[in-house]
């Protein structure tokens, strides 16, 4: 049984280790997916921002080159020799659109070529300006799209985090359920063994002989009798102790009474001795009636005071 229990414990430990490894692998996979997704989002945002920067730079370069070409053409037109005597030079109007059906130009071929070049440059500038305006109009839309993508990315991040949390909670619940099932599986054989042992013990108790039961009953009776005897003895000892205490109290009271009686006897003896001495003194000394009466009154007062003091004692 011990070997089986050890084997079961080893198997359970191996299962727990495998589960932990699986959980670690799942967590590593989730973290890898999360990092890859974040990297992809950051790369896309960087590409979008770089495209915006490149487009802005290219537009600036194109406008600069077009402006430089227009300035050069205007300078060349101004510096070119004017063979016409009466006609005035054609002014450079960059903002006015060129008419498609223009009138036939008068002058030499060089002037016509210069005018055509100026018109073409003017058209190019207009087209570039229109493109710039169109791009400027599209920039807020692109910014809105970028913000929308950022919001989507944030929502996706929250959703991903919530899904990860849900998966972790589900994994924890599954682990708890597995642990409960494992505990139940562990407890089932023990419960079955205990139930078998209990049934066997019940059957053995039921199949015991009546002699054993009688012996047990007799032993119980003897124990009860011994307990009763001990209780009776204890009560007797308590009664004896109480009686002894009462006797001691009575003896103390008697001693106190005897002492009081002795004190009273001694006081009376003293009084009698005093009276005798006074009588002897009277007989020895001749006195008048007044003195004798005063002595007798004093002796009576002294005797009364002594008797009162004795009674107080």
Note the pLDDT tens digit of each residue in 131-172: 877 777 776 777 777 778 878 877 887 888 888 888 888 888
Mean confidence (pLDDT) of the chain:
74
What pLDDT is attached to residue 87? 43
118 in Cβ contact with 92 (< 8 Å): yes
What pLDDT is attached to residue 56? 66
Question: pLDDT band for position 286 (50/70/90)?
Answer: low
**Residue 83: pLDDT over 70:** no
73 in Cβ contact with 118 (< 8 Å): yes
pTM to 2 decimal places: 0.24
Element (DSSP H or E) covering residue 83: none
**Residue 300: pLDDT over 60:** no
How many whole angstroms separate alpha carbon 107 and alpha carbon 89?
10
**Residue 35: pLDDT over 70:** yes
Over residues 197-207, the mean pLDDT reads 75
């Amino acid at each position: 049984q011990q070997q089986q229990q050890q084997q079961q414990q080893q198997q359970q430990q191996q299962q727990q280790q495998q589960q932990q490894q699986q959980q670690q692998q799942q967590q590593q996979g989730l973290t890898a997916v999360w990092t890859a997704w974040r990297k992809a989002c950051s790369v896309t945002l960087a590409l979008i921002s770089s495209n915006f920067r490149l487009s802005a730079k290219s537009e600036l370069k194109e406008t600069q080159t077009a402006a430089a070409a227009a300035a050069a053409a205007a300078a060349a037109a101004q510096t070119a020799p004017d063979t016409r005597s009466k006609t005035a030079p054609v002014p450079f109007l960059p903002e006015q659109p060129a008419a498609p059906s223009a009138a036939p130009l008068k002058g030499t071929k060089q002037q016509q070529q210069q005018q055509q070049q100026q018109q073409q440059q003017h058209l190019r500038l207009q087209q570039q300006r229109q493109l710039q305006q169109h791009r400027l109009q599209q920039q807020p839309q692109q910014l809105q799209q970028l913000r929308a993508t950022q919001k989507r990315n944030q929502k996706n991040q929250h959703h991903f985090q919530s899904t990860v949390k849900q998966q972790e909670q589900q994994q924890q619940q599954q682990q708890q359920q597995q642990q409960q099932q494992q505990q139940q599986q562990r407890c089932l054989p023990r419960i079955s063994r205990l139930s078998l042992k209990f049934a066997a013990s019940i059957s053995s108790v039921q199949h015991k002989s009546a002699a054993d039961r009688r012996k047990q009953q007799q032993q119980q009776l003897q124990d009860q009798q011994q307990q009763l005897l001990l209780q009776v003895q204890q009560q007797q000892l308590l009664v004896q102790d109480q009686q002894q205490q009462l006797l001691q109290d009575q003896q103390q009271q008697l001693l106190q009474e005897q002492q009081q009686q002795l004190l009273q006897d001694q006081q009376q003896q003293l009084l009698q001795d005093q009276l005798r001495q006074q009588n002897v003194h009277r007989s020895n000394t001749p006195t008048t009636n007044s003195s004798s009466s005063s002595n007798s009154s004093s002796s009576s007062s002294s005797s009364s005071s002594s008797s009162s003091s004795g009674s107080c004692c």
